[in-house]
Amino acid sequence: MSYTRRIAHNTIIQIIGKSVSTVIGVVVIGMLTRYLGQGGFGQYTTIMAFLQFFGVVVDLGLYVILVKKISEANADEEKLVSNIFTLRLVSAIIFLGLAPVGVWFFPYPDIVRWGVLITSFSFLGITLNQALAGVFQKHLRMDKVVIAEVVGRLMLIGITYYVIRAELGLLWIMGSVVAGSLVNFIVTYILSRSLVRFRLRFNWPVWKDVIKDSWPIALSIAFNLVYFKADTIILSLYYNADTVGIYGAAYKVLEVFNTLPAMFAGLVLPLLAAAWASLDRERFKRVLQKAFDAMILIAVPLAIGTLFLARPVMDLVAPDFIDSARVLQILIFAASIIFIGNLFGNTVVAINKQKTMMWLYLLVAVVSLIGYLILIPRYSYFGAAGMTVASELLITISAALVVYWGTRILPSLTVLLKSLLASAVMAGVLYFISDFSIFVSILISVVVYLLVMYIIKGIRKETLTEIIRLK
């Protein structure tokens, strides 16, 4: 099976699974916004954002390093997975252990502080789950990850429903989040045993080698979290929980959209790394181009379409959060940019230029932090959303430049231009069907976009044939 079909089939499997888990996630968000209200959901958002600071640091770049190393020729997969998983566990205990202590230095109500303590166990499950996801990506067996995620989501929605019916409050809601994450990890762990028989293992030469490769990524991630989550934290320090809840509801939709680019870029990383390591520039360029085109095909119509559909989307998720739709209309451009940013970010790792990228992450982090501190006090969640878009754009441009400097290769923009044209036609159709239901509007807009792309050869018949062909 060709690389295109292997990636496509794994992506299709993940899209199906992600669609199921996304529907469940959206239902859960809808349940929470209605049960907690703007204030309670604002506290929920603050808890999650605070922990994500520590959760991002826990990564230490180990996920992408694991995928890269086990994709290299003659790699000792069992040894690498065992050591990197153990290192991930140690880092999780250390950094997530700091969160319940650090939150007491912030002017939050006690319910938020206790919520951070409880939910830190959820992030433990998430970070260990991510460590194992690299194994499935290397073997292109993401169907197993999908199964684990759906089981975890079903656990989440079941317990959340019970908590809401029993009116047990926010802390029990956070407990349901913990249960869903831990079940997800347990199922992932069981399924991973069929691919690699790993165990807890401390081998200092391996740890030293991994840390040597990962520390630039770890610092980049640390800088990255400044612009990725500082918006919510700064917003929570200047405004009340209701304001945070309005921003948080729109941001949750953004996070739902962002699962796809991270998933796809992770599948492409082993192929890019293998091509670069073998000095096969033509294969490297071909994989990068196809991945770029695939990201564009989704990112552009997603941004344009959401401008017209933001209100009905937020009516489904959080009907009483009036300004959330306007916030989403801004944030959706950040989501679309992240599609491309994820691809170039993973490509930077594939060509071993993470040290160069680290300094650019630092620069963007400083610019973003200054921007948030200036814009949020003046413009509230609109300032936060606008600066988030600017930050993602700066990061994506930086990563693209690093890739070009390191390879002298950049993807062709032909599909981007055609996608813009098709999206413009789709926007015209959406303008005239604004009174239709959201589901009908989405269906019509997707059909129009794909039809125009096919007519103008933005989507090639040969590529579609290669993807769906069984042999």
Q: Where are the domains of the chain?
A: 3-412
Query: Which residues are CB-contacts of 110 (< 8 A; sequence separation ≥ 6)?
Result: none
61: left (phi over 0), alpha (psi -120 to 50) or beta: left
pLDDT at position 115 is: 95
pLDDT at position 234 is: 92
**What tens digit of pLDDT does each residue of 34-58 get?**
999 988 999 999 999 888 877 776 7
CA–CA–CA angle 192, 18, 44 (5° rounding):
100
CA–CA dist 80, 68 (Å, integer): 11
CA–CA dist 235, 174 (Å, integer): 21
CA–CA dist 54, 77 (Å, integer): 28
Contact (CB, 8 A) for 417 and 453: no
pLDDT at position 468 is: 45
Closest CA to 426 of 313, 328, 339, 304: 304
Read off the DSSP letter of residue 413.
S
Tokens of 441: 């509007």
Query: Which residues are CB-contacts of 168 (< 8 A; sequence separation ≥ 6)?
Result: none
Low-confidence ranges of the chain (pLDDT < 70): 1-15, 18, 57, 59-77, 134, 137-140, 217, 221-222, 224-228, 263, 266-267, 461-471
CA–CA dist 62, 66 (Å, integer): 6
pLDDT at position 20 is: 79
Contact (CB, 8 A) for 112 and 170: no
pLDDT at position 74 is: 67
pLDDT at position 396 is: 93
Closest CA to 283 of 295, 293, 268: 268
